[in-house]
Amino acid sequence: MLLGRITGKSTTTSFTFMINEGAKKFQYVQVMHNDGYYVLSQIIEIEKDIDKAIASCNLIGYSENGIFRKIKTPLEPGTEVFNAEDGIIKEVLSIESIDNGAYIGVLDQRENIKVMLDINKLLTKHIAVLAKSGSGKSYTVGVLLEEFLERNIPVIIFDPHGEYTSLKFPNNKPNDKAKMELYDLVPKGYNKQVVEYLIDSIQESSSRKLRLSIKDISPSELIKLLPIKLSNAQIGSLYSALKNIEGAVNFDVLTMALESEDNNFKWTIIDALEYLKKLDIFSESGTNLDELVKPGVASLINLKGVPIEVQEVIVYKLVNDLFNRRKRGDIPPFFIVFEEAQNFCPERNFGEVKSSSIVRQLLSEGRKFGIGACLITQRPARVDKTCLAQVTTQIILKITNPNDIRAVANSVEGITHETEKELRNIPIGTALVTGVVDLPLFVNIRPRKSKHGGEAVSILNLNDKDKKTENRDFINEIRDFKETIPVVQPSSSLSDLRLMYGGDKQISVTLHPSLILSCTQNKDSFNLLVDLTSFKIINDVESGSGSQIPSNNLQISNQQNKIFQVALNLSEFKPAELFSRANVQFSELYDTINALTNKGLLIKVGDKYKVNDNLMVFSRLSELAFYEKIEHVNIPFDKKLEKKFNPEDVVSLIGRFADIKDKKECFLVKYEIN
């Protein structure tokens, strides 16, 4: 479509044209050069008066034998300006033809042109995702992580808010599923690929406990690990104590050495050591770094609820250990994500933190060793400028703070004054992507295949009518507020179900009192969710279904329980087989077998015995693991059921077959459709 003709001055970087019809800001246009090729350009501003409308354009370039080039001579005034054809855009920008590219979305205003980012460039030249809170940072990063996991790239994620656990689960929201069809996507969870590491929590999914190695630690590294800033006198006292230690250093040995020092500087250090010891995050061996960095696995370091000074210590220690192991070639190349990057590598005006130096080193040297990094922040002005300067690809969403806008404009190449002004107006779901070509591209981010875990939690529960009222009276909000409760709820919300089933169906919400148990069985750590009304172990939160806990008479003695545990592992056995493993007298064994048979726990089949099938559930508790999180929300409900089973009885029963580390009561949300 002809849009107009070039008018006024034309340079090798820009031109203007008089609009005849149909031109929009940031629209892609094409103009024939005198040398016989089309040049791709983009409208960056439109000025209009009574008589005419003038569009200002920036020149992008052209493609010659598949190579992107800039023009050397200006376009001729009077040349026709056309709406750019899809083929020209694809050829010049080369955003669809990248081999093994990361599919992040489609070009704004051109929904049929996919934007594929070069995986190799992303992994070796770093990424920054910059946006104000609520603009879609974690959603966009989730899209990138999905692409990395699809290509078996090892990923480490430092997650201060516990947002990325949701990568494990498919995105089943009806609205998102409809959008996925437009983007040729289907819902997918990465449960087997996302491994979560926690400091200590029962509220999160089945996870592993993070341990930092204190073996062979150097004095300088020990200083970095202390969650306080030491004075010169305190550093001297620490070094003096270390000189008197022979053999391995641990917190107990170091504390004893410090106590023998004849000064008053030692007490602050001793207090810090006691604090670290109580955190229970250090050990002689530590978490295996070979397990953290595995192809196709995202190791999620969930730091939710961990004090910021401890987060700095964890980031410093892990990044330092991983960096050193990678430099020696002991672990494969990997990609590392720093959510809330301003906390781990702040601009020096805002102070140095424990992790600052190692993050700077990783950003500046990591690419030489095959380490890529992603900095995510809502405050670009507070991130170390040295770190931002090392980033090649920037994904910028809506930013409104003037200081942050200046920081982005100063650190990102190719952003014009007009584009800078647009940072305030970028709609949710659209990102400005730089580093692909010389000019930034506006990209509509594709829907996530996995569930998004970064939505803000609403404290006040507003009904649909209230949501339409922008300026509700604050006093009314307080009056309508009800106490939040801990719940586990399906990924599909009530509004999702109403959209799915329409207005003909009545949907009621029932709260089932439940118990979450943090368990270990056969060295596997996992969580169980027990419905205290049905006495079921729930492993499908969407439907509220699970396995019934057997009602057999399990009131047995400790000796009987010991023998039954052996029988449970064998499933089916002859008395002699049980005897060889039970370590009891044969006569006592027969008495116990008879007692367990009379209680219905064992069944005699010929010359063998077998465990009652109903009880075999206790041998495979980890298969019934529960992966969702507890959320503290104010949720409307139609009915709240009463407990039918005592939580302590459940703990006592499950505790016979698994080691229970912790327990927490909550409510399971179930939807009933009538």
Tally of CB atoms within 10 A around 423: 22
DSSP states along 249-312: --HHHHHHHHHTSSSSTHHHHHHHHHHHHHHT-EESS-S-HHHHS-TT-EEEEE-TT--HHHHH
| Predicted local distance difference test score (pLDDT) of residue 140 | 92
CA distance 429 to 106: 11
Q: pLDDT per residue over 26-35, tens digit each?
A: 899 999 999 9
Give residue 611's pLDDT: 78
534-to-70, 490, 593, 648 alpha-carbon distances in Å? 70, 18, 30, 16
DSSP bridge partners of 604? 609
Count of other CB atoms within 10 angstroms of residue 425:
9
**Crossing angle, helix 266-279 and helix 251-259, to 10 degrees?**
160
* DSSP assignments along 112-128, one per residue: EEEEEE-HHHHHHH-EE
91 pLDDT band (50/70/90 cuts)?
confident
Of 34-38, 303-307, 625-629, 662-666, where does mean pLDDT reach its minimum?
625-629
pLDDT, mean of residues 141-158: 93
Out of 323-337, 521-535, 588-602, pick the least confident: 588-602
Distance CA 123, CA 146 (A): 14
Question: Which amino acid would we find at residue 42?
Answer: Q
Residue 401: which of 419, 379, 384 has the closest Cα? Answer: 379
Dihedral sign of CA atoms 357, 360, 363, 369 in order: negative
pLDDT over 60 (residue 587): yes
Do the Cβ atoms of 445 and 430 come closer than 8 Å? yes
Question: Which of 269-278, 364-373, 460-469 has the weakest average pLDDT?
Answer: 460-469
For residue 226, the 8-state DSSP code is S
For the chain, percent of residues with pLDDT exceeding 90: 25
Helix (H/G/I), strand (E/B), else coil: 129: strand
pLDDT computed for residue 492 by the predictor? 75
Confidence class for position 465, pLDDT limits 50, 70, 90: very low
Cα distances from 647 to residues 90, 553, 624, 652, 655, in angstroms, run 62, 18, 18, 9, 12
Say if CB 25 and CB 46 are below 8 A apart: yes
| CA–CA separation, 653 and 302 (whole Å) | 31
Percent of the chain with pLDDT over 70: 90
Q: Residue 468: which pLDDT band, with cuts at 50, 70 and 90?
A: very low
- Considering only residues 312 and 276, tell me which one the structure prediction assigns the higher pLDDT: 312
Q: State the Cα–Cα distance between residues 344 and 311, nearest whole angstrom.
A: 8
Closest by CA position to 529, among listed 627, 619, 640, 615: 627
Question: Which residue, 123, 87, 129, is CA-closest to 102?
Answer: 123
pLDDT score, position 480: 40
301 pLDDT above the threshold of 80: yes
State mean pLDDT over 349-376.
Answer: 89
Kindly state the average pLDDT of the residues 306-323.
90
Q: Quote the pLDDT of residue 469.
A: 41
Give me the mean pLDDT over the 192-202 stretch: 79
Contact at 8 Å (CB) between 1 and 82?
A: yes
Distances (CA, A) of 449 to 115, 129, 189, 433, 495: 17, 19, 7, 21, 20
Percent helix, strand, coil in the chain, to 5, is 35, 25, 40
424 DSSP assignment: T
Residue 455: the pLDDT is 60
| pLDDT, average across residues 514-530 | 85
pLDDT confidence band for 551 (50 / 70 / 90)? low
Strand partners, 115: 105
More reliable by pLDDT, 31 or 556? 31
| Cα dist from 513 to 155, 264, 592, 650, 670, whole Å | 37, 53, 36, 13, 11
Query: How far from 236 is each of 227, 231, 288, 464, CA to CA, in Å?
Result: 17, 9, 33, 64
Q: In the prediction, which pLDDT does 463 show?
A: 46
pLDDT tier for residue 502 given thresholds of 50, 70 and 90: low
How does residue 345 score in pLDDT terms, banded at 50, 70 and 90?
very high
Each residue of 30-67: b (16+ CB within 10 Å) or e?
A: bbebeeeebbbbbbbbeeeeeeeebbbbbbbbbbeeee
157 three-class SS? strand
User: CB of 667 within 8 A of CB of 511?
Assistant: yes
Contact between residue 285 and residue 211 where contact means Cβ atoms under 8 Å apart: yes
pLDDT at 218 over 80: no
Q: Which residues contact 505 (CB under 8 A, 6 or more apart)?
A: 673, 674
* Ranges 165-169, 285-289, 487-491, most confident: 165-169
More confident residue, 468 or 114: 114
pLDDT for 222 beyond 80? no
- The sign of the torsion formed by the CA atoms of 171, 174, 179, 183 equals positive
Q: Is 371 left (phi over 0), alpha (psi -120 to 50) or beta?
A: beta
3-state secondary structure of 160: coil
Specify the pLDDT at position 98. Answer: 66
pLDDT of 479: 38
Which range of 373-382, 608-617, 657-666 scores highest in mean pLDDT? It is 373-382
**Phi and psi, residue 573, nearest 5°:** -160, 160
Rounded average pLDDT over 222-241: 80
